Amino acid sequence: MKLYDMVELAGRNLREAGLRNSLTTLGIGVGVASLVAMLSLGIGLQLLFRRELGRSSLFDSVYVTSRQDFRQRRVGDNRPTRPLDDGARKSFEKLAGVLEVYPNFAAVGEFRFDDSKTTDAQSHFTVLTGLPPSSRNSEAFDDIQGHFFSGPDAAEAVLMVDFARELLGLPEETDSDKKLGSEQANQLLGKTLVLRYAEREAPSLTGNEPANAPANDNTAADNLAFNVVRKEQALKIVGIVVQEPVRGIPRTGRSSVFLPIAFAESLNMIQPGDLRNVVRPAEGKTYQALIVRVAKSKDVAAVEEEVKKQGFGAFSLLDASRNVRIVFVFLDLFLGIFGSLALVVASLGIVNTLVMAILERRREIGIMKALGASDRDVKQIFFVEACTMGVLGGALGVGLGWLIGRVINFGTNLYLQRQLEAKPQEFWYVPLWLVVGAMIFSLLVSWFAGIYPASRAAKLDPVQALRHE
Amino acid sequence: MPDNDNEALRTISVVRHYRLGRSTICAVDGVSLAAKRGEFIALLGASGSGKSTLLNLLAGLDRADSGVIVVEGQNLATLSSLELAHYRRHTVGMVFQSFNLVPNMTLYENVELPMRLAEVRRRERKARAREALEKVGLSERMKHRPSEMSGGEQQRAALARALVNEPKVLLADEPTGNLDSKTGTEIMDLIRGLNRSLPMTVIMVTHERPLAERYADRMIFLGDGRVLEETKSKMGAAK
C-alpha cells in the first residue's frame, strides 16, 4: 500500500476513537514536555554558567610566569628557561588565537581625594590594578555609575564602591553590593584623585634625564640598577563599580582602584618582584606574570602548550572548565533520563491504545486481509498510527515544554528580583536541536511502542477474525 | 496438475484439519474438484460439512495441510504470504453472508479499499469505484455508511467491492444467508449476470438447494469434509 493511503487510513482510524487517541497523544505530549523542560533547564544553566564565566575571562586566559622563578624550578628540570620580558610578550602576541597580552599589574599606592571642601585630604592606602580594554565586557561594568575608561592610556580611575565610600567618609555598608546615591556619586565622578606611588626610575648618570621616562624605554641596564622615587599622579574618577571586574587568573586580592593597563604600566610603579630582576638580565622590561587572553576558549590548550614550549610556566583554568563541562554532561544525562521516564510511561499508553484498537478492529483487519492486505500492510498501518501519535505528541510536548520553561523562568526571575534584587537571567534555553531531537525521540519511542501491537495485528488469522458473530 | 487452458481452478486431495483441544477435526478431507472458466459452481452441504473451510482455502485466507489447490495457474501452496495477499487482491473476490463492509467507511470508501491495497492510482480508483457501484445500482448512495443501508444494498455494495479489482474468480459464502428471499433473488440475479457477462468463475457456498439449482451450472455436495456427490443443476443441464 502507498504511504499516503496508509497515512490516510491511519488518520481515519485515529479519528474514529478520537477521545482515546487524543488522551494517548496528550500523554506523549506531557512525556515530551517533561523531557524538553528538564533538558532545557540543564542546557540553560550550562549556558548561563558559561556566559558568566566567559565574561569573567577566567576560561579564556593563560597565566604565564617565568620558570626562572625559584618557586617554579624543580630539581632535575633541565628544560630551557627564558625571562618573561618584552620579547616574550611580543612573541605571545603573535600566537594564533591570542586576543591580547597584558601584565598582571597590581601595585600599592596612596590616594588622596581632594574635593576642595576638605583642605587636609586624608590619605588612603590601597591596591590598584591595571585593566585591559577587553575587561569593558565584564559584567561589573554593566551597572557602572559613570563610564569606562575613555582610552587605554587615559589618566582615569574607576573605583570600587566601598573605596568610594571611604573617600567620601561615609560609614561602611553591610551590603557591599549597594550602589552610591546619585548625589554621592556625583561628588566623586569627574573629580581628581591623587595617586602617590614609588616609581622605579632609571639610574640618572648625569642627573638631567627626565624623571618620568616611559616604561618601554627601559633597557637591560635599567634592570641592573634603578632609583626608587616618590611620584604623584592626578587621576580623573570616571566610574564607580559595585562588583570587582575580574581580570583573569589569579585574582590579586581585593583591589579598590582600577586604571587602564597601558597607563598603569607607563607609571613605572615599583612592583613586587622588581628586586629579583635586578640580578637577572633580560631584554627590556620584565614581568612577574603575563596574562594571555585568547579569542576562543577552545584555543586555550594550544596557546598554553605553545607558551610552555617557549620555556615559560603556564596555567589556565581549562582543566577546571573541562570538569565543569563533565558535570554538566552528567547533569543533562540525568535530567534527560528523568525526563524520558515520563515519555516511556506515555509510550505504554500507545501500546494500550493500539492493543485495544486491535480488539475493536479485529473484524476490520480480517476484512482487509480478505481483500488482499498483506501482513506487512496491516503492520504498517498500526505503525503509522503509533508514529502519528508520536509526532503529534512530540510537537505538543515541545510546545508545552517551552511554555513550562517560560513560565518557570518568569517565576524564578520574579522571585529573584523581589527577594535578591538580582538581574533577570535565562535559566531555560530550548535550542533547535532539542526541538528536533525531542520530536525524533518521541517518534522513535512511539515506533517502538507500536512494535508489539503491530505484530499482533499482522498475525491475526483472517478466518478467525471473519468468523460469524 | 491442470493443463487445460480453460480451467479456472482445481483442487487435488485437499486436506485441512483443526485441533480442538485434544481431538483433531478434519474440516476438509481429501477434496478434489475442478471448475472451468466462467462456470458457476454451488458448494452445498449441511453445517460443518467443510464448505466454508474449502472456500477459505480457495480464497487464500487459509492454507491446506496437504493436497494441491491451483487457481488460475497459481499453486497456492507454493505462494509466500505476500504473494498470497497479491493473489487475494487480484485473482479472487469475496462476498460474505454478513457482508463484511467496514462500518466506519462510506460505500465509496469500502469499494475503494481493495484498490488502495492494490496501489491503484487515486484518479483511476474514483472512476472504477463509481463504475462498480453503478453496476450494482448504488451509484446514488456512494456517501452513505453501511449502517444507513438495507441488507440487500449492503450485499450489493460488497459485490461491487469484490469486483472492483476485476478478479477472475468470485467466491461467495452464503451471499443470501442474511437476506429475505426477494432480496436474495436480486443478489443472485446480479451474480449470475456478472458470471455470464464478464465472464467470471463463481464458487458459491450455500445450503439452499433451490437457489443452487436455479443459478449454478453445477452442484457439489459436501459432507464430513468430503465430496459426496456432483450433479449438474437444471441450469447447467440446460446449457
- Residue pLDDT, tens place only, B68-106: 999 999 999 999 999 999 999 999 999 999 999 999 899
Please report the pLDDT score of residue B64 as a whole number.
Answer: 95
Residues of chain B with pLDDT under 50: 1-2
Cross-chain Cβ contact B89/A372 below 8 Å: yes
Q: How many domains does chain A have?
A: 3
Please report the pLDDT score of residue A453 as a whole number.
Answer: 93
| Residue-level pLDDT, tens digit, chain A, 469 residues | 888 899 999 998 899 888 999 999 999 999 999 889 888 888 888 888 777 776 666 677 888 887 766 555 555 566 667 778 888 888 888 888 888 888 888 888 888 886 555 555 678 888 888 888 888 877 778 888 888 898 888 899 998 888 888 888 888 777 666 788 888 888 888 888 889 888 877 765 544 444 454 444 445 455 566 788 888 888 999 999 888 776 555 555 678 889 898 888 888 888 766 766 666 666 567 787 888 888 877 788 888 888 888 888 887 877 666 777 788 888 888 888 888 888 888 888 889 988 988 888 899 999 999 999 999 999 999 999 999 999 999 999 999 999 988 898 888 888 888 877 667 777 788 888 989 999 999 999 999 999 999 999 999 999 989 885 5
Cross-chain Cβ contact B98/A469 below 8 Å: yes
Question: Helix, strand, or coil here: A369?
Answer: helix
Please report the pLDDT score of residue B111 as a whole number.
Answer: 95
- Which residues 354-373 of A are in CB contact (within 8 Å) with B? 363-364, 366-373
Residue B157 domain flag: yes
Cell of B18: 483443526
- Amino acid letter, residue A144: I
Q: Which residues of B touch A12 (CB under 8 A)?
A: 104-105
Q: In sequence order, what are the residues at sequence separation of 6 or more whose Cβ sits closer than 8 angstroms to the Cβ of residue B126?
A: B112
Partner A contacted by B118 (CB < 8 A): yes
Rounded to whole angstroms, the Cα distance separating A136 from B137 reads: 87
Q: Which residues are registered as beta bridge partners of A2?
A: none
Claim to verify: residue A111 and residue A239 sit in the same structural domain: yes
Structural domain for B123, as ranges? 106-164
Question: What Rg value do the Cα atoms of chain B yield, rounded?
Answer: 17
**Concatenated DSSP letters for A243-303?**
S----SSS--S--SEEEEHHHHHHTTB--TTHHHHHTS--SS-B-SEEEEEESSGGGHHHH
- Amino acid letter, residue B193: G
Q: Read off the CATH number of the domain in which A297 is found.
A: 3.30.70
Interface test with B, best of A367, A369, A463 (most B CBs within 10 A): A367
Q: In sequence order, what are the residues at sequence separation of 6 or more whose Cβ sits closer than 8 angstroms to the Cβ of residue A247?
A: A57, A104, A129, A131, A132, A135, A291
Smallest Cβ distance to B116: which of A1, A374, A469?
A: A1
Question: Which is it for strands A156-160 and B23-36: parallel, antiparallel or unpaired?
Answer: unpaired
Rounded to whole angstroms, the Cα distance separating B16 from A239 reads: 99
Cross-chain Cβ contact A1/B89 below 8 Å: no
Claim to verify: residue A305 and residue A270 sit in the same structural domain: no
Residue B89 domain flag: no
pTM confidence score = 0.70
Please report the pLDDT score of residue A70 as a whole number.
Answer: 53
Claim to verify: residue A205 and residue A226 sit in the same structural domain: yes
Please report the pLDDT score of residue A223 as a whole number.
Answer: 53
Claim to verify: residue A259 and residue A275 sit in the same structural domain: yes
Q: Which residues of B touch A465 (CB under 8 A)?
A: none
Residue B143 domain flag: yes
Claim to verify: residue A225 and residue A340 sit in the same structural domain: no
Structural domain for A208, as ranges? 105-286
The CA dihedral of A229, A230, A232, A237, to the nearest 10 degrees, is 110
Cross-chain Cβ contact A370/B86 below 8 Å: no
Burial of A117 (0-12, 13-18, 19+ CB in 10 A): exposed
Please report the pLDDT score of residue A207 as a whole number.
Answer: 46
Claim to verify: residue A364 and residue A449 sit in the same structural domain: yes
Please report the pLDDT score of residue A221 as a whole number.
Answer: 52
Residue B7 domain flag: no
Claim to verify: residue A33 and residue A151 sit in the same structural domain: no
Q: Which residues of A touch B114 (CB under 8 A)?
A: 371-372
Claim to verify: residue A179 and residue A47 sit in the same structural domain: no
Q: How many domains does chain B have?
A: 1
Rounded to whole angstroms, the Cα distance separating A330 from A123 reads: 53
Q: In sequence order, what are the residues at sequence separation of 6 or more whose Cβ sits closer than 8 angstroms to the Cβ of residue A226?
A: A200, A201, A202, A203, A274, A278
Claim to verify: residue A330 and residue A462 sit in the same structural domain: yes
Burial of B121 (0-12, 13-18, 19+ CB in 10 A): exposed
Rounded to whole angstroms, the Cα distance separating A54 from B3 reads: 86
Claim to verify: residue A296 and residue A188 sit in the same structural domain: no
Burial of A99 (0-12, 13-18, 19+ CB in 10 A): middle
Residue B219 domain flag: no
Claim to verify: residue A148 and residue A238 sit in the same structural domain: yes
Please report the pLDDT score of residue A425 as a whole number.
Answer: 77
Partner A contacted by B6 (CB < 8 A): no
Residue B122 domain flag: yes
Residue B136 domain flag: yes
- Which residues 79-108 of B are in CB contact (within 8 Å) with A? 81-82, 85-90, 94, 96-98, 100-102, 104-105
Q: In sequence order, what are the residues at sequence separation of 6 or more whose Cβ sits closer than 8 angstroms to the Cβ of residue A246?
A: A56, A57, A58, A138, A140
Claim to verify: residue A237 and residue A386 sit in the same structural domain: no
Please state the ipTM of this predicted complex: 0.93
Distances (CA, A) of A240 to A17, A149, A169, A253, B195: 68, 11, 16, 18, 102
Rounded to whole angstroms, the Cα distance separating B224 from B46 reads: 9
Phi then psi for residue A209, to 5 deg, are: -65, 155
Smallest Cβ distance to B88: which of A2, A372, A463?
A: A372
A236, A270, A286: which is the final residue of a domain?
A286
Q: Which residues of A touch B165 (CB under 8 A)?
A: 372
